[in-house]
Amino acid sequence: MEIHQLRYFVAVAETGNFTRAAERCNVSQPSLSQQIINLESELGHKLFHRLGRKAVLTESGELFIGRARRVLHEVEAATREIKDAPTLERRITVGAIPTVMPHLMTAIIGQALQKHPDLIIHAREDFRPALVKSVLEGDLDMALVSMPVTDTRIAVEALFTEPLLLAVSKTHPLATQPTVSGDDLRNETFALLGHSSALAAKIQGFCGAHDFEPMIGYRCSQIATVKSFVAMGLGISILPQLSRVSGDDSRIVYRDLSGRAPTREIALIRHPQRYQSRGASLFIETLRESIKPLATDGA
C-alpha cells in the first residue's frame, strides 16, 4: 500500500467521480483507476460502487476512509514539521580517537561553528574499534581514526600521514644523543595508551620490527597522562606529531627516529549508506579545508 493510492482513494471519495479525482491529483484517469483497483486487490474488498459516472463508497470504503484520511494527515503534518524545523539537517555527531580529538578535532569543530553558527555538533572521544562500531550502528555521522580500517562496510577517506616522534624528558640521555634509532629504545620503559589504542599497537609493531618487546611500565587512558610520565623521566613514549604542543617545550624533548621511522595515517570514516545531511556536508567541507596543510606536509 502506497501513499499516493490513499490520496487517489480519498480524492475519489470526496469528488464522487474518477475523472474529477484524476484532475485533482494531476494524473490520468486510467492511471488513477488502476491504482484504486490495485488497492482494492491488496485489501481484498471493493471500496467503491461504480454507478455509471458516479463512485459511491461501499461499506468497506466507509470503514477505510477515516483511517486513510488520518494517515494522510500524519504524513502531511510530518512533512510540514520537517520543513519548518530550523535545526533538522544541522545536527551532527562526530567522533575521534584520543590522539586526534584534543589536538585536531576540537579546532575543526570550532572552525565549523564559526563558519556555520546554526550547526549543532556533538562529539565523542573513543578508541578506534568503538568508533567504527558506532559509525556502523548509526550512532555517529563520521569519525577520525587512524588506519587501518579493515571493515568493508565502512567508507574510508584517507586524509593525511604524520610522523610518530620519540618523546623523552629533557634530562633523558636520548634527549641529546645525535641520532636515535629503534634499537636505542630496547632497554627503555614505555608509557603507552591502553590496549584498545591503535597508537599503542603501532608502537609495539615498531618495536617488534627491531626485534624486541617494549617494556611497558605505564598504561594510560589519555595522552596528557603519558606526557606526565615522560616529563617526570619515568618513561619514554612515541607520540603523534599532532600531540606536540608549545607547552611541552619546557618538559619534553621530541626526536625523530632514524631509519624506518614510524608514521600513521589518519582517515575519515563514514557509513556509505547513511544519509549525509546538509550539516554533515558543511562539516566535512571545513574538515577538508582545515587539514590541507597536514595533507601537503605528508605528501
Tell me the average pLDDT across 164-168. Answer: 94
For residue 88, what pLDDT is reported?
Answer: 55
Q: What is the residue-wise DSSP string for 163-177?
A: EEEEEEETTSGGGT-
Residues 236 and 169: their CA atoms lie apart, in Å, by: 8
Q: Grid cell 574499534 — which residue? A: 129
Cell numbers at residue 89, please? 539537517
Cell numbers at residue 68, please? 486513510
Q: Does residue 298 have a pLDDT over 70?
A: no
Cα 82 from chain centroid? 22
Residues 36 and 15: their CA atoms lie apart, in Å, by: 14
- For 176-196, b/e burial (b = at least 16 CB within 10 A) is eeeebebebbeebebbbbeee
Give pLDDT tens digits for 41-73: 999 999 999 998 899 999 999 999 999 999 998
Q: Does residue 179 have a pLDDT over 90?
A: no
Give pLDDT tens digits for 258-279: 888 889 999 999 998 888 888 8
For residue 93, what pLDDT is reported?
Answer: 94
For residue 297, what pLDDT is reported?
Answer: 64
Q: Does residue 299 have a pLDDT over 60?
A: no
Tell me the average pLDDT across 142-151. Answer: 94
Tell me the average pLDDT across 177-193. Answer: 92
For residue 99, what pLDDT is reported?
Answer: 87
Query: Quick one: three-class SS letters along 39-104?
Result: HHHHHCCCCEEEECCEEEECHHHHHHHHHHHHHHHHHHHHHHHHHHCCCCCCEEEEEECCCCHHHH
For residue 91, what pLDDT is reported?
Answer: 86
Give pLDDT tens digits for 288-297: 999 988 876 6
Residues 290 and 101: their CA atoms lie apart, in Å, by: 14
pLDDT band at 85 (very low <50, low <70, confident <90, very high): low
208: DSSP letter: H
Residues 222 and 298: their CA atoms lie apart, in Å, by: 25
Give pLDDT tens digits for 206-232: 999 999 999 999 999 888 999 999 999
pLDDT band at 146 (very low <50, low <70, confident <90, very high): very high
93: phi then psi, degrees, rounded to nearest 5: -125, 125
Tell me the average pLDDT across 174-191. Answer: 92
The answer to whether the predicted template modeling score (pTM) of the entire model surpasses 0.75 is: no
Q: Does residue 164 have a pLDDT over 90?
A: yes
Q: Sign of the C-alpha dihedral, residues 128, 130, 132, 138?
A: negative
Give pLDDT tens digits for 108-140: 999 999 999 989 999 999 999 999 999 998 899
